[in-house]
Amino acid sequence: MDNILTQQEAALRSGQISDVHYSLQLKLEKGSQEYEGDSTVRFLYTGGKKGKLKVDFVSHKIEILWLNGKEETKYEKKDSFLLIPGEILEEGKNELRIKYKNLFDHSGSGFHKFTDPADKAEYMHTDFEPFEAHRLFPSFDQPDLKATYDLQVTGPSEWTFIHNTVPQTEEVQGNYKNIKFHRTKKFSTYLFSLIVGPYAVWEDKAGDIPLRILCRKSLSKYMDAENLFAITKEAFGFLQNYFGVPYPYGKYDQIFVPEFNMGAMENVGAVTFSESYIFRGPRIYSEYLNRANTVYHEMVHMWFGNLVTMKWWNDLWLNESFADYLSYYSMSNGKLFPDALEHFYVREEWAYREDQLSTTHPIAGKAENTLEAISNFDGISYSKGASVLRQLMYYVGEEKFRDAMRLYFKRHAEKNTVLNDFLSCMSETSGVDIRGWSKEWLETTGVNTLSPVRQNGRLFLSQSPSENNGLLRTHALQATLFQEEGGKLKEVWRKRVLVKGKETLLEESDKGQADLLLLNTEDYAYAKTYLGKEALPILKRSLHTLQDRFARRVVWGSLWQMVRDAELSPREFLELALDQGLKEPDLSVRNSHILTKALTVIDNYIPESEKRNWSDRMNAIAKEKSLLANNPEQEQILWFRILENTSKSEAQLTYLKELLDEKKAIPGIPIDQERRWTILARLSAYGDTESDARIEKEIAKDNTDLGAKKAFLARVSFPDAKRKKDVWDRFLHPQKEDSTDFLRYGMRGFQWGHQKQLLLPYVDLFFDSVISVYESRDPHFSSAFGHMMFPSYEPDTKLYNRTREFLDQKKTLPELLRKDLQQQRDDIARTLRVLEKYNK
C-alpha cells in the first residue's frame, strides 16, 4: 500500500485530534542497521468512538503497544500506518505508547544513515518533509497537528547529538551517553530533527542566539565557518527587525549532512544542508552568493513555515515563495551580497520554464495527497511565487508589505494558515483589496509576454497571453529607453509603467531613432520580455557599452526567452554571445546569461551537423583566454569549466590528459581532486583506453565517499555495451549498500550525446521499466531515474511521439511519473520548434 496521506484523511483527523505531545526515547548502537524506539503520543480525541483512527508509522517490528496504560492488540498494522478502532479510544485524553525496532533509511530521507569510508565514522540525520516523520516515530504526520516534543537519546559517548532544542541533562555511563533534551516549542512533525555522529563543531553567537556549524570530521578542513557565521549574523540582524518578531527558537545550528536529497531543510533550530555547499576549492562569486542565499532562505523559514505553517500542502507557497523572495530581498539590504536581486532575476528562469509546461499549476495549488505535494516543490511554488511577491511589494510599497508580514506573525504565531489569512493581513495593512490581485496572480497559470511596438510615430507596450489561457494581467514595471550616441548606449528615460490589457502607450512622439527600449529593468514584473526587431543591430554594435549591469542582464535574459520561444535564431544568439558576450565586464553576467546559455544552445537548439563547429569555437576561445596570465582566479575557473565541457576531439581530449599528467598547465588552475575526476569522466566517456586504470589509480588516492561516487560516474561513462547493461540492471535492482545518492552519480554518467548508437536499446528499456520504478521506489530515486535516464541525447520527432503515445495509452500512471514525462514531452516539442526555426 502506498505510503501517502490524503488531504481528506488529514482533514478528518484534525477534526478528531488536538493538543498533541510526543515523548520519544531512542537507543542507537554503533555498526547496527537498526535502532530501538519507545514513543508515547498524548492527544485529545473527540471522534465519537466511531470508525478508526489512523496513526502514521513505518516500523520494522512493534514489540508492544499500550493504549492508556494497558497492553493493546486490537489494532491493524499496515506498511505505513496503524488503524486503532474508535471504540477503544477515550473521549478526551489518550496516551498511545509503542515500543519498537526500526531500520535506518538509505534514501536520504526518513532517518538516513551513512558510513564515511575515509574514517569509518557513522552519521545519521532526519529529513521529514513532507511526510517522513513517521519513519522515526508513530505520529499524526500532517502540518496542522502541531505538537511539542520531549526527546531522550542513548548512544555512543563519542557521538554528538543535535536536536531542535539544547540538552537539558547529559550523563555518560561507560561507552554510552544519555541525553535528555529540553521540551520543544509547538511545531509540525516534518520539522522535527535528530542529527547524530562524531561531528566537527564551530561555535559563535548572533546577539544572544548561540550559533553552531557542524560537518563530518573528514570534511572539516574545507569548512569556511567564519564566512558562514558572518552570513548567518547578517541574516539574523535583518530578519528579526524586519519581521518584528525575535527569533523564536533559542539556538541555531547549521549542520552539513551526507547524501542529502535537497539543498537544505529548515528544521526548527537545526537546519540541515547538503555537503555540496562545503566548497573544496575556490568558486565563482555566484556560487558563494547561492550558498549564502540558501542560508538566508532557511532562516526566513523559521518564521515563514515554522512559526506560522500552512494548514495543508496545497498552500506550500506560504512557506516557499516567501522564503525564496525574502532571502534575496534581505541579502540586497546587507553588505555581503548587495546585488542579490540581480541573481534573483537569474533564478526566475526556472519559473518561466515551468510555467510554460503543460504541468504548470497555480501558485496557490492543489495537493490531494502527500505524493502530489512532493511534485509541488517546483519552480512555480518557489520561483514564480517569489517573483509575484516582488511584484506585489512594488505594487503596495515596501513598508506596507513589511507591515503585513508583521501582522501575519502576530496574528498566527504557532498556528496554521490558508491563503485567505495572508490576503487579509495584506489587505488590512495596504488599504488595497488584495483578493482581486490574488485571483489574477496566485490562482491562475501561465506567463505573459511583453513586447515593444512602434506604430504611427508612437511607442507602445504590447501584452500577449500564455499559450494555455487568454489571460492578460496588470503589471507594474520599469521601462527604460537607451539611445546610441557616439557608439555608446545612453539612458534617455526610465519610467514606472502600469500595464493593462493588450496595449499600453509609452511615448506619444516616437522619433524612431537608433534606440533600445528595455522592458522590466530591475525586474519588478513577472513576465517574459522581448526586444524590438530594431534592437538587434544596435546590440551587435554596442551592447557592451551599456553602463547599467542589471540592464545588461535583462537584455541577455530577453534574448534567451526569444531563443526558447523560436523568436530569435539560435545562430544569432551564439554569434552575439561570442562577440559582445566576450566583452561583458561582469563575470557573473558573462557566466549565467551568456556562456552557460551558449553551451545550452549548442547542446539543445542547433542541428547535430553544426554542434561540433560551435563547440570547437567555444573550446578554442576558452583555451586562448585561460592562458592569459593576468586573469583573476574566478575568470580562470570559468574558462577551465568551458574548456573541459567542450573537449570532444582527439586533440582537445589529449590536452585535458596533458593537464591531468601535469605536462601542461593553466595559470592559476591547479588540477585538484575535483578537476581530476571531471577530466577522468570525460576521457572515459570518449573511450580512452587508459581510463579504467586511471580511475583505479585515482580511487586509491581519494578514499572518500565522493571519490567512490565520482569513480562510479567515470566508469559508467565508458562506451561499453556490457558495462551499460550491468549498471542499468543495478539501477533497477540496487545492491544492499547502494544509497540513492550513489546511484544518482551513476545516472549522471550513463548518457552522453555522442554515445547515441550505444544507448538506443535503452529507449525501449526506459519505457518498459519506468512505471515499476515509480511504483516501487521512493520519490527521490524515482524522479532522478525519470529525469536522468529519459533518452534525451538527441530529441527528435520519433521520441516525442513515443512519449506522447505512452502518456495517452497509460491511463493510470503514478502522478509523479505522469508529470515528469509530460515535462520531457513538452521540452522535446520546444526543442523541435527552435530547430525548425534554425533550419529556415
Active site residues: 298
Residue 383 CA to residue 363 CA, distance in Å, equals 10
Q: Which amino acid is at 570?
A: P
Q: Which amino acid is at 169?
A: T
Residue 730 CA to residue 721 CA, distance in Å, equals 14
Give the cell for residue 5: 496521506
Instruction: Return the beta strands (E) in 261-379 as ranges.
Output: 264-265, 270-274, 309-310
Contact 413, 398 (CB under 8 A): no
Contact 683, 653 (CB under 8 A): yes
Residue 80 CA to residue 297 CA, distance in Å, equals 32
What is the three-class DSSP state of 1? coil
CA 625 to chain centre: 32
What is the three-class DSSP state of 77? strand
Give the cell for residue 365: 495549488
Residue closest to 390 by CA, chosen among 304, 332, 467 = 332
Residue 241: count other Cβ atoms within 10 Å of its Cβ. 11
Q: Which amino acid is at 323?
A: A
Give the cell for residue 627: 592562458
**Cα 790 to Cα 353, 719, 721, 794, distances in angstroms:** 19, 18, 18, 11
Residue closest to 640 by CA, chosen among 284, 167, 398, 288 = 284
Residue 434 CA to residue 432 CA, distance in Å, equals 6
Strand 270-274 and strand 252-257: the pairing is parallel
Contact 568, 605 (CB under 8 A): no
Contact 280, 297 (CB under 8 A): no
Place of cell 508513530: 138
Host H or E run for residue 63: strand 61-67
Instruction: Return the beta strands (E) in 284-417 as ranges.
Output: 309-310, 416-417
Q: Which amino acid is at 787?
A: H
Instruction: Return the beta strands (E) in 432-560 as ranges.
Output: 449-455, 458-464, 475-485, 488-499, 503-507, 515-519, 528-529
Give the cell for residue 558: 530577453
Rg (CA), the chain: 28
- In angstroms, the first-to-last Cα distance of the chain is 53
Strand 122-127 and strand 61-67: the pairing is unpaired
DSSP per residue, 129-154 = TTTTGGGTS-B--STTS-EEEEEEEE
